[in-house]
Structure formats: structure tokens, C-alpha cells
Copies of this chain bind each other. A is one copy, B any other.
């Protein structure tokens, strides 16, 4: 694999550049984002004329003077209008690098009514500011807010056990926000000893053909390296310790689990221990048959 080594520099180099067709805010890495209050260029035209709740009556005189009333998690603007005070609340949000906005997940009002009105006002505000994609994270505890966001036009984007991310695309053109993650990554472990004998397993899984001997397989864990996943799966399924030698092949399948795609990497491993102890939950049996596998003949 000379070419693989030769291209490593290009590969690493290109990895530091974004893929510009998609707008991918690091939505959970809020530390990387600038937290904006109302900017100094904030002007009256931002006061939500599209939102019925906040329309000013034409008989009211707008005064170009405003005060900021800090309130936990919500941007509050209270313009003096003659002797009256109108309070307009927006959701806290950070600008992303793609002209979009990430709503501060810590700052959502707990009351459904308050959320509905501030979300509506905020959407109008973002539209006036020419924002593009809006990202909204709602935790399990805030689940009452999900139907409200959907009603305002948000769509689901992706989810983890403790939260769901919703998006809203403002421009009148095709959405440029990235899709949710598309793949699961699996491994198949080709464990071969010095006698060219291969470790094989029988699964207990009901979707396996009964009695079939196969390579140990599994999905890699979150943020796990592929070679580490292969070593871990072999250890879990058979108790055998191994070292990683080489990645020898992969296959790409579509519409697998959750209608997503699946990449499976075949890893060549060398066994470091002999004793087999099967994981009784998953594996029916494991063995190293006395049959030599000849790579050159394959």
C-alpha cells in the first residue's frame, strides 16, 4: 500500500478544511461560538413587525431610545413608547459561521406559553436580520416545547437519548444545512495465527444462520478507532487478546439499520493469547479450526 503512505500528507492536510457545501455548526461545542448580545447596529426595524404579538399600533410614537433589562436566558428589549413600555423577548442565540443561529439550549423558557411567544418573536427577528439556518436543541426535560417548535415550522434534524435537535431554514431557497449522520461503522476481525489458522465464531443472534462459522464482527463505539474496535470485539466475543496488523478491505452497504448506510472494515489481527472464553450472551461457540488459510490462493 505504497500509495496510501504517499498520500497521507494530503489526506491530513485536507482534513483541516471544511466541506463547504454544508453548514455544520458545532452545536454542542458552545465554547467555540461567540455569544452575542444585541449588537450595536441593532435598530428598530428588528422589532418583529411580522409577529402579531409585537406589532406596534400606528398611533404609538416610537422613540429611538432603548433599555436592556437582563433576564436569565432571554434577551429583553424594552423600548419607551411615550409613557408606555413594551417588552419584547428573544431567545438567546449565537451566530454560527454560516450566517445561521444556534439557540442557547440553557436559556429556553420552561413555560410553554413563554417559549411560544419568544420563539415566534425570535424567528421574525432572525428573518429580518437575514439569518439562514436556525439550530434548536431541546432536552428530554423540555419535551413540552417540541410540539411548539414544530408548529412554528421547525423540522427534526437528529437526536441522542437526552435531546433532540431541530432546524429551521429561513432563506427562500433549498436548505443547505447538513443531513444527520449517515453511517454506522462496523468491523470484521480476521484473527490469524502463525500457523495460518483463523479464529471463527457462531452467533446466538436470531438473524444468523444456525451453525454458520464466521469472523467476529461488531460496531465500533462512539469516538473509537477502527483498529481498537476490532481488538475490543474479539476480546469481548472470544476472550482472545490480539494486536492489529493491517486493514485489508471494507464494504459499503446502504439502507441497513434505520435506512442508513454501513461501512464494515475487515481488520487483520494477530492473536496474543490462546484460551477462548466465549461471551455467552452473544456467542454460541468460538474456535480456531486446524485448517490453514492460504492468503495467496484466496
Q: Does A276 contact B (CB under 8 A)?
A: no
Taking A158-B180, A257-B24 as contacts, is the C-beta distance between A97 and B206 under 8 angstroms?
yes
Q: Does A15 contact B (CB under 8 A)?
A: yes
Taking A159-B180, A183-B185, A184-B181 as contacts, is the C-beta distance between A14 and B295 under 8 angstroms?
no
Give Cα distance in the complex from A260 to B147, angstroms.
26
Taking A206-B97, A258-B158, A298-B7 as contacts, is the C-beta distance between A252 and B264 under 8 angstroms?
no
Q: Does A272 contact B (CB under 8 A)?
A: no
Q: Which residues of B contact A263 (CB under 8 A)?
A: 183, 185, 263
Q: Which residues of B contact A190 (CB under 8 A)?
A: 7, 10
Provide the A142-160 mask, 1 if CB < 8 A to any CB of B, else 0.
0110110011000111111
Residue in B closest to A148 when the chains form the complex, CB atoms = B143
Taking A147-B147, A217-B19 as contacts, is the C-beta distance between A258 and B223 under 8 angstroms?
no
In angstroms, how far is the closest chain B Cβ from the Cβ of A234? 12
Q: Which residues of B contact A10 (CB under 8 A)?
A: 188, 190, 215, 249, 266, 298
Whether the Cβ atoms of A223 and B254 lie closer than 8 Å is yes
Q: What does DSSP make chain A's interface, helix, strand, loop or mixed?
A: mixed
Q: Does A291 contact B (CB under 8 A)?
A: no
Question: Which of A25-33, A56-64, A103-111 sits within the interface?
Answer: A25-33
Taking A203-B18, A263-B185 as contacts, is the C-beta distance between A155 and B144 under 8 angstroms?
no
Interface residues of A in 247-297 (CB under 8 A from B): 248-261, 263-264, 266, 268, 282-283, 295-296
Q: Which residues of B contact A73 (CB under 8 A)?
A: none
Contact of A204 among B20, B212, B225, B256 (CB under 8 A): B20
Q: Which residues of B contact A1 (CB under 8 A)?
A: 1
Question: Which of A29, A163, A220, A259: most chain B CB closer than 10 A?
Answer: A259
Instruction: Identify the A interface with B (CB < 8 A).
Output: 1, 3-4, 6-15, 17-22, 24, 26-29, 97-98, 140, 143-144, 146-147, 150-151, 155-165, 178-186, 188, 190, 203-209, 212, 214-215, 217-220, 222-223, 225-226, 233, 236, 246, 248-261, 263-264, 266, 268, 282-283, 295-296, 298
